[in-house]
Amino acid sequence: MYLAKVYITLKPTVNDPQGLTIKGALYTLGFAAVQEVRAGKYIEIKIEEKDMEKARNDVQNMCKKLLANTVIENFRFEMERLKSD
């Protein structure tokens, strides 16, 4: 079994209203040194698969087909083999 850790972020050229809201709230809380905030998504997926390459390909396709809007978002992921109980 594998654990995929998926990170999805807006492309640098895409406006990030959520990031701007967070930055404003941080400023209000006294964190005036914060220059920029970009918000994103983090998703964990457990995959019951014996072959690492097959699991990686499946996660790649999940990201392209559903998890990320590749027009405005970038994604990357890490794979970790989980220990058997």
* Residue 83 pLDDT grade (very low, low, confident, very high; cuts 50, 70, 90): confident
For residue 85, pLDDT beyond 80: no
Per-residue tokens: 81: 């083999």
The side-by-side arrangement of strands in the sheet containing 73-81 is: 40-47, 2-10, 73-81
For residue 12, pLDDT beyond 60: yes
* Residue 29 pLDDT grade (very low, low, confident, very high; cuts 50, 70, 90): very high
The verdict on pTM exceeding 0.85 is yes
Mean local confidence (pLDDT), 20-36: 97
Contact 80, 3 (CB under 8 A): yes
% of the chain at pLDDT higher than 90: 96
Question: What is the sign of the dihedral through the CA atoms of 17, 22, 25 and 31?
Answer: negative
What does the DSSP 8-state code read for residue 48? -
Residue 26 maps to which CATH number?
3.30.1280.10
For residue 45, pLDDT beyond 90: yes
- In the chain, what is the straight-line distance between the N-terminal and C-terminal CA atoms, in Å? 11
Q: Structural domain of residue 14, as residue ranges?
A: 2-81
Q: What is the count of structural domains for the chain?
A: 1
